[in-house]
Structure 1
Amino acid sequence: MATGALRGPDLRHVAHAGREAGRSGVVVAARVGYAARAAVYAVIGVLALMLAAGHGGRTTDTHGAVVEVARQPFGSVLLVLLGVGLLAFAVWRFVQAVLDVEGKGRSGKALVTRLVFAGSGVIHASLAMFAFNLLRGHAHRGRGTQGMTAELMSKPFGQVLVGAVGVVVIGFAVQQFMQAAQGKMLEKLSLTGLAARRRTWVERISKAGVAARAVVFLLVGVFFIQAAIQADPGEAGGLGEALGTLAAQPFGPWLLGLVAAGLVAYAVYQLLVARYRHIATP
């Protein structure tokens, strides 16, 4: 045997160490990713709160939140951290989708869930690339919701497809409302050991955050259905447009402020997930 050659037990030890390193990498990616999502929603919520309170601010979406981060002191450093975090979250979503680390299975419902994970991975990877391109001075926001709606509407049965997207988004919003009402988002959090009072606040913040995000998705779904009915892509809108619609209603500042506070709560919930969620590994 050549000097330094690995024996069977050594190979098994190396393989085991590699698997452990991979599992640790998945856990780190997930926790860093959830923290990055928290930062994005915190920026969106705080800007909307400022607008509702009459202290500047604006309604914006996830891309606008990344741009706002770039405008801050040490913006380049913050962009790198945010981009890495969003890319880490994309990796975690792909692990959930492809490796099925959470044991969803292969039923119809499970495959849909895993497809949603994959779609979320693509969205967050795209947002990470936007952050990195912004750092290089070559950022491009793409077609936006209305541009994508126009392209979809140009396809055969385009109006039906746009309407179907609206129905799916509304269905997701309803599912989020149900999760908030039943507290299901807390099931994967390891809260054992927390004092009762602190646990109560974790539950309240989590439920408020998920419910507020559901309101925004509900409006986005309605926008898609309006676009389909009127055959007008201009009726479609994303997160920023949904917040703007709230601001334009009677008692708009109060409505906007309430939902904006909820989005900040959602950001806190994402931080709680980063800290307390049980991360399944391959």
Structure 2
Amino acid sequence: MCGMVSYLIWRFIQAIFDTDKHGLGFKGAAIRGGLIASGVTYGILTVFTFGLWNGSQGNDGDGGGGSQIVDFIVSIVGSQAVAYALTAVFIGVGIAHIAKAVRKGYARHFEAPQRVMDFVHPIARTGLTARGLSFLVVAFLLFYRGLNAGGEGSPTPGVEDALSFVQGLPFGGILLGAMGVGLTAFAVYSILEAVWRRINVEDADAIGR
């Protein structure tokens, strides 16, 4: 939960202080709006995770407040309108990740010597592509949820459904293994970005004053 809270705060810092110089044009405003949406999403995930944890602490009773939080969030995300809206968001995020990998858009945010970037490129492109594809799978499942929202006893797709969906595809076992390798590469890329990311601290300080 601490990691998710830190990440959502960073997303808001990126959007408000424009650490990556996106500007206020149409494209820049769209990107910064996406960063805010990402922060809100991680905020919801944080509350959801806290609800699960808090509910697990009160197993002896009726589930307590944690269970109510989880049920409330699930009821919102399970609605048809929200499911379709999230489908569109995840499709956009998935395509953006893949485009970032293909165009090496991440490179402009790094301040590292060339020998480091030679190591970063294959890891970053693999990780971003894998994460983009995983977002597209989630988008498909959210769309499926939207089609079934409100139906009597309609299931709510989750992680197990996503993995089962991938596994059910031709060469599903290989695809699952490749996705695991790719997401591990994204984790390594995120650590490398944390070490060598270029942040416009001077601009943020100027705005803060």
Q: What range is the shorter-chain TM-score in?
A: 0.7 to 0.9
Distance 2:88 2:12 in 1: 25
The alignment partner of 1:142 has SS state of helix
Question: Is it true that 1:168 corresponds to 2:89 in the alignment?
Answer: yes
Alignment of 1:108-127 (within 5 A): 108-127=26-45
In structure 2, the CA distance between the partners of 1:264 and 1:145, relative to structure 1 (3 Å rule), is: farther
1:99, distance to aligned residue in structure 2 (A): 2.7
Distance 2:166 2:73 in 1: 18
Aligned equivalent of 2:136: 218
Structure 2: 5+ residue stretches without partners: 59-65, 205-209
Question: Is it true that 1:178 corresponds to 2:99 in the alignment?
Answer: yes
Following superposition, which runs of at least 4 residues in structure 1 exceed 6 angstroms of deviation? none
The Cα offsets for residues 106-155 of structure 1, whole Å up to 9 and x where unpaired, read as: 2232222222212222233444456666389365572498643433x2xx
The alignment partner of 2:70 has SS state of coil
Distance 2:42 2:21 in 1: 23
Aligned equivalent of 2:164: 244
In structure 2, the CA distance between the partners of 1:145 and 1:175, relative to structure 1 (3 Å rule), is: farther
Contact 2:20 2:109 in 1 (8 A): no
Question: What is the number of equivalent residue pairs in this alignment?
Answer: 190
Contact 1:220 1:236 in 2 (8 A): no
Distance 1:236 1:168 in 2: 19
Aligned equivalent of 1:84: 2
Distance 2:22 2:87 in 1: 25
Question: Is it true that 1:266 corresponds to 2:206 in the alignment?
Answer: no
In structure 2, the CA distance between the partners of 1:137 and 1:146, relative to structure 1 (3 Å rule), is: closer
Let me know the Cα RMSD of the aligned residues.
Answer: 3.1
Distance 1:251 1:265 in 2: 21
Distance 1:114 1:228 in 2: 27
Question: Is it true that 1:95 corresponds to 2:16 in the alignment?
Answer: no
Aligned equivalent of 2:207: none
Percent identity over the alignment is 26
Aligned equivalent of 2:25: 107
Question: Is it true that 1:150 corresponds to 2:150 in the alignment?
Answer: no
Structure 1: 5+ residue stretches without partners: 1-82
Amino acid at match of 1:180: A
Question: Is it true that 1:278 corresponds to 2:198 in the alignment?
Answer: yes
Distance 1:215 1:235 in 2: 23
Larger RCO (alpha carbons 8 Å, 6+ apart): 1
Distance 1:235 1:108 in 2: 39
Contact 1:149 1:236 in 2 (8 A): no
Task: Name the TM-score, length of structure 1 as normaliser.
Answer: 0.57
In structure 2, the CA distance between the partners of 1:86 and 1:230, relative to structure 1 (3 Å rule), is: closer
